[in-house]
C-alpha cells in the first residue's frame, strides 16, 4: 500500500483560503446536522509545561473523512525558526481503515483556523465591516489577514503585537505579500478604536482586549486562547457581546474566554447564542442589528481538519503533488 505525504508547501499550494472556507463550512454544517463525530480533545502536557500534545480525532459522514490531528504546541518556539504548532494530520479511509495520508498539521491549522474565522465573519460581521484590527503578529495573524480579505472589503488594517520587532517584520512582509497597507500601532486600544473587525490571535494567558474599547457594531474573532485557564477578552467584552461558538460542548469544557466570566457569575451557559453550524443550517439567526457586538469564540475542531485533509488527499492525487511511500499492508493500491 502507498501512503501520501504532503508537506507544508504542498498544503499551501493545494489549499487556497477561498477553498478552505467552504471546506470548513462543510465540516461545521455536518456537525450541526449531527453527521460528524468530534470528541473533546485530550491534551497531554509535558511535566514542565514547556509544551503539549493535542489529539484531535474526527469523522465527517457523506465525505467519509476520517482522521486524527496530532499537534504539538510549544509557545517558546515563537520568534525562532520553529513554528509553535507542528505535527501531522493522519487521514484514514473508512472502508478498511487504511492510513492514506500524512499531512503537515501546522500548515493545515494555520489555514483552517483563519478559514473558520472567515466563515464566522461572513455570517456575523456587518456587510460594510472593513476596518480590521489584528492583535498578534504570528502565524495566525498572517492567515487571518488573508481570510478577512476574502470575506469583506478591507479598507484599513491596524496591527498590534507585544514585541515591536515581530510586528514590524509582520507588517513589512504581509503588506508586500498581500498587497495591503498595514499600520503598526503601539497599544491594543489604538488598534481597536473604531474597528469593526477585531481578531485576537495571541498566546496571552490574560485579557488583552477590554470591553470598554470595543465599538458598537464590531465583530470579534477570539482565536488565541484554546484552554480553560487562559483568555484574551476581559469579562466586560464577553458580557457585552452576542456569543457564537464553533461548538457548545467544546466551549463549556475548554474555553477560558467563556468559563472564567461564567465562574465569576457574569454569564451563564445561555450566553452562548449558538454554533456557527446552526447559522449555516439556518436553525438560528446571526446578527440582529448594526449596533450589536458579535463574538465568535474559536477553539478549533477536528472536523475543520479532516474535511480539508480529505480534500487535500484527493486534490493531490489529481495534481500529482506530494510524495508516496510504501507503508502498511502489502496491497497493490494507492
Ligand atoms: P505564534 O506562536 O505564531 O504567535 C504567537 C503570538 O502570540 C505572537 O503574536 C505573540 O506576540 C503573541 N503572544 C505570546 N505571548 C503573549 C503574551 N503574553 N501577551 C501578548 N501576546 C503574546 O502562534 P499562532 O499565531 O500560531 O497562534 C496564536 C494563538 O492562537 C496561540 O495561542 C494558539 O494556540 C492559538 N490557536 C488557536 C487555534 C484555534 O483553532 N482557535 C488554532 C491555532 C492556534 P509577539 O510575537 O509580539 O511577542
For the stretch 256-269, pLDDT in tens is: 999 999 999 999 99
Q: pLDDT tens digit string along 5-21?
A: 999 999 999 999 999 99
Mean pLDDT of all residues in 75-79? 90
Q: What is the pLDDT of residue 331?
A: 77
96 and 136 in one domain?
A: no
Q: What is the pLDDT of residue 297?
A: 98
Can you spell out the DSSP letters for 182-213?
Answer: -EE-SSHHHHHTT-SEEEE----SS--B-GGG
290 and 308 in one domain?
A: no
Q: Which protein residue's CA is at the shortest distance from atom 39 of ligand 1?
A: 300
332 in a domain, yes or no? Answer: no
Average pLDDT, whole number, for the chain? Answer: 97
52 and 11 in one domain?
A: yes
Q: Which three cell numbers stand for residue 264?
A: 465569576
Mean pLDDT of all residues in 244-250? 98
Predicted confidence band of residue 115 (pLDDT cuts 50, 70, 90): very high
240 in a domain, yes or no? Answer: yes
Q: What is the pLDDT of residue 250?
A: 98
Q: Which three cell numbers stand for residue 211?
A: 470591553
Which atom of ligand 1 has the smallest separation from the CA of 225?
A: 32
Q: What is the pLDDT of residue 329?
A: 82
What's the CA-to-centroid distance between 318 and ligand 1, angstroms?
A: 35
Percent of the chain with pLDDT over 70: 99
Would the CB of 209 count as within 6 Å of ligand 1?
no
98 and 40 in one domain?
A: yes
Which atom of ligand 1 has the smallest separation from the CA of 136?
A: 9
For 44, counting Cβ atoms within 10 Å of its Cβ (0-12 exposed, 13-18 middle, 19+ buried), the class is exposed
Which atom of ligand 1 has the smallest separation from the CA of 299?
A: 41
Q: What is the pLDDT of residue 176?
A: 98
- Please report the sign of the dihedral spanned by the C-alpha atoms of residue 116, residue 113, residue 111, residue 219: positive
Number of neighbouring beta carbons within 10 Å of residue 87: 21
175 and 292 in one domain?
A: yes
Q: Which residues pair with 293 in a beta bridge?
A: 241
Q: What is the pLDDT of residue 173?
A: 98
247 and 146 in one domain?
A: yes
Which atom of ligand 1 has the smallest separation from the CA of 298?
A: 41
118 in a domain, yes or no? Answer: no
Would the CB of 298 count as within 6 Å of ligand 1?
yes
Tally of structural domains, the chain: 2
311 and 209 in one domain?
A: no
DSSP state of 16: -
Show the domain range for 11: 2-109+302-326
264 and 289 in one domain?
A: yes
CATH of the domain at 57: 3.30.1780.10
283 and 173 in one domain?
A: yes
Q: What is the pLDDT of residue 315?
A: 98
Number of neighbouring beta carbons within 10 Å of residue 48: 6
Q: Which protein residue's CA is at the shortest distance from atom 33 of ligand 1?
A: 224
What's the CA-to-centroid distance between 35 and ligand 1, angstroms?
A: 31
Predicted confidence band of residue 78 (pLDDT cuts 50, 70, 90): confident
258 and 170 in one domain?
A: yes
Mean pLDDT of all residues in 207-234? 98
Q: Which three cell numbers stand for residue 66?
A: 476520517
333 in a domain, yes or no? Answer: no
Q: pLDDT tens digit string along 160-214?
A: 999 999 999 999 999 999 999 999 999 999 999 999 999 999 999 999 999 999 9
CATH of the domain at 271: 3.40.50.720
Q: What is the pLDDT of residue 334?
A: 67
3-state secondary structure of 113: helix
Task: Compute the distance between CA of residue 189 and CA of residue 256 in angstroms, rounded to an integer.
Answer: 22
What's the CA-to-centroid distance between 2 and ligand 1, angstroms?
A: 36
264 and 307 in one domain?
A: no
Would the CB of 73 count as within 6 Å of ligand 1?
yes
What's the CA-to-centroid distance between 84 and ligand 1, angstroms?
A: 8
Q: Which three cell numbers stand for residue 241?
A: 457581546
Amino acid at each position: 500500500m502507498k501512503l501520501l505525504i504532503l508537506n507544508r508547501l504542498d498544503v499551501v499550494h493545494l489549499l487556497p483560503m477561498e477553498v478552505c472556507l467552504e471546506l470548513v463550512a462543510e465540516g461545521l454544517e455536518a456537525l450541526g446536522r449531527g453527521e460528524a463525530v468530534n470528541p473533546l480533545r485530550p491534551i497531554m502536557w509535558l511535566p514542565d509545561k514547556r509544551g503539549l500534545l493535542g489529539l484531535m480525532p474526527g469523522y465527517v459522514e457523506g465525505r467519509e473523512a476520517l482522521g486524527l490531528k496530532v499537534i504539538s504546541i510549544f509557545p517558546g518556539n515563537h520568534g525562532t525558526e520553529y513554528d509553535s504548532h507542528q505535527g501531522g494530520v493522519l487521514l484514514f479511509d473508512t472502508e478498511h481503515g487504511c492510513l492514506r495520508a500524512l499531512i503537515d498539521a501546522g500548515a493545515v491549522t494555520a489555514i483552517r483556523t483563519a478559514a473558520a474565522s472567515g466563515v464566522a465573519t461572513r455570517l456575523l460581521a456587518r456587510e460594510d465591516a472593513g476596518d480590521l484590527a489584528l492583535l498578534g503578529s504570528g502565524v495566525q495573524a498572517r492567515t487571518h489577514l488573508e481570510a478577512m480579505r476574502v470575506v469583506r472589503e478591507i479598507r484599513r488594517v491596524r496591527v498590534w503585537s507585544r514585541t515591536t520587532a515581530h510586528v514590524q517584520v509582520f507588517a513589512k512582509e504581509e503588506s508586500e505579500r498581500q498587497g495591503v497597507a498595514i499600520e503598526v500601532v503601539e497599544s491594543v486600544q489604538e488598534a481597536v478604536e473604531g474597528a469593526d473587525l477585531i481578531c485576537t490571535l495571541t498566546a496571552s494567558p490574560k485579557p488583552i482586549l477590554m470591553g470598554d474599547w470595543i465599538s458598537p457594531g464590531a465583530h470579534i474573532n477570539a482565536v488565541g486562547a484554546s484552554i480553560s485557564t487562559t483568555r484574551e477578552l476581559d469579562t466586560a467584552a464577553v458580557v457585552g457581546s452576542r456569543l457564537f461558538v464553533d461548538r457548545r460542548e467544546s466551549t463549556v469544557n475548554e474555553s477560558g474566554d467563556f468559563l472564567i466570566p461564567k465562574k465569576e457569575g457574569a454569564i451563564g451557559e445561555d450566553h452562548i447564542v449558538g454554533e456557527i453550524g446552526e447559522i449555516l443550517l439556518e436553525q438560528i439567526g446571526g446578527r440582529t442589528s448594526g449596533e450589536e457586538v458579535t463574538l465568535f469564540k474559536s477553539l478549533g475542531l477536528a472536523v475543520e481538519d479532516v474535511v480539508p485533509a480529505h480534500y487535500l488527499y484527493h486534490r493531490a492525487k489529481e495534481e500529482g503533488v506530494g510524495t508516496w511511500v510504501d507503508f502498511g499492508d502489502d496491497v497493490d493500491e494507492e
